Structure 1
Amino acid sequence: MSTDPASKHVSVMLQRCVDALAPAISAPGAVVVDATLGLGGHSEALLTQFPEVRLIATDRDPSALEQAGQRLARFGDRATLVHAVYDEIPQVLADLGVPKVQGILFDLGVSSMQLDETERGFSYSQDAPLDMRMDQTRGLTAADVLNTYGHGELAHILKFYGEERFAGKIASVILREREKEPFSTSARLVELVRNAIPAATRRTGGNPAKRTFQALRIEVNGELEVLDRAIPGALDSLVVGGRIVVMSFQSLEDRLVKQHFAAAATNTAPPGLPVVPEEHQPWLKLLTRGAELPTEEEIEENRRAASVRLRVAERIRDRSTPRR
């Protein structure tokens, strides 16, 4: 029996994502981008169910690329895997000589592999080095953030990225405790956060360190800034009739995706015009009503699907340059 993590991995909402992309990528010569390759579950399904599709997949995590590469090796040159962050997709496509694509899939947040590998430090349930970098070859670690950021910076990321009500108090405790000994592993941080939060709050909402760990992960990987650049770049990379599917696992991501989709799907003409000029007409069509939630069956298949929000959109026209 295989011990390869990829072989045991169950991708979130796999068939729903494939079905959402299907109308755009079924024709011969179609190219689909998996912006967040991870362990390659969605990519494998796309390559299997659409025998003529070409896949271009990116991931910032070299370990994910290696494991997914083994999983997808049987597809040969139909699959091109690139070490890149997903806001670099337009450049990746340009380097490969691919001007536009028919489909793009984003599966945001931390991957199952990163959560399951204790030494990566993403999980608050096990003691591990405070790393949290999706690409361990570069950038600040979570420990660096905890040990060097000022009170205001720490409180800001805990409040806005972690939506933590007690951000200021937790930041104060972090600064006090790091004077005694710098932070290096997760168990100490988990205990500190637990003690900093009122007992009544600790009794609800799961592990009280969850929000702090989310905030640190987003800060370390620049996730919201990257996503804010990535969605417009992805939309511009779609052909007319091309589709984009985005799965978000926390409200900050979903809100950002919603804003970009809504802006492209909205009539921007001044009110009262008898005829709307083409440059003011929507160029994106929303195919989901709000964000779709997982079914009970999808959650049962993979518990990590419980918090997912799915949005799908289709490019309906080229963007024109306003006349001067």
Structure 2
Amino acid sequence: MEGLVVIDDPTSILRCCNKVYLHENFRRNRISAPKTVIVSTTCRRTLDDLEEQVGYPLVLKIPNGSFSRGVVRVENRSQLKETLRRMLMGSALILAQEYFYTAYDWRIGILNNRPLYASRYYMSEGHWQIYQHDALGTKAGSFTTMASYEVPRSVLNVALKAAKGIGDGLYGIDVKQDGNRTTRAERALMVEYGFALPSECEAIADLEKKVFLHDRLSPRQIRYHLKNDKARFCLAREGGIPVGYGLLLTNRRWARGRIYSLAVVQKWRGRGVGRGLLSLLEHYARQAELHGLSLEVRRDNGDAQALYAICGFALVGEKPGYYSDGESALLMRKDFI
């Protein structure tokens, strides 16, 4: 088509569409990225090297795949050999990468080497990718958007650094974040987010003791909410150990979900864990087609109030003497519509 105004250029487009180029660019510029091996055969030595350097499960990618297509996870050697053989029939090179499940990816939009927008893209429910393609069609996870100033500086920095190796047009850079570092697309999180398991009841109770002096959830209450189908009990884990949790309660009669409790151990405060948990709870609330979220926060807890305000919650009221020690609660709310 002629007469259209564009802000990209052919060279940049080709670079963005070539995962082999991107891998070499990130390696050359020391941008943290997933452990990656580029392969071209299915010989024994190749398979041995992948098992030693990457391990299972691992992800195989064609260089020009997009929207979760041309990306396959394999669990063992037989799957690796057969999938690699099949993919090499359509591509001379395949990228083999380490696999880690994460609840969402950052997408940082960059124009002329400056951040333009930011989004969190969530994995499709029950799946490890944002898009799930099968015989019934395609399902996609939801997303949330925000201004670039709401994004942790470390996330913006790594996105800007990654974009410099491509050009000065409009790009979307995928980034994953943990407590200590940010990494360009699909790197393992030191902190992983997901549902709490019944077997983690004792660990959550220990976390309660570390975080709260008053109004703790008892082990009995924790077990109840872990089994409650109207509750979403989400954990942040470091090395499999809970370092934070968020508890969302819903009811068919409620227009909004209620964040009943949010806790992060001292070591991980101020490092994005609380924000990650809130984002995950909001994701589930939107999936349930709720109109928003509400919560109570201690009047003397300024840090928590600041976190909620940054994440879009507004003060709407106060409950005097709400907590067991007589402290008042501030009522905060975030509306989606």
Q: TM-score interval w.r.t. the shorter chain?
A: under 0.3
Q: Return the TM-score normalized by structure 1.
A: 0.24
Bigger helix share: 1
Between Structure 1 and Structure 2, the one with more strand by share is: 2
Taking structure 2 as the reference length, the TM-score comes to 0.23
Structure whose alpha-carbon radius of gyration is higher: 2
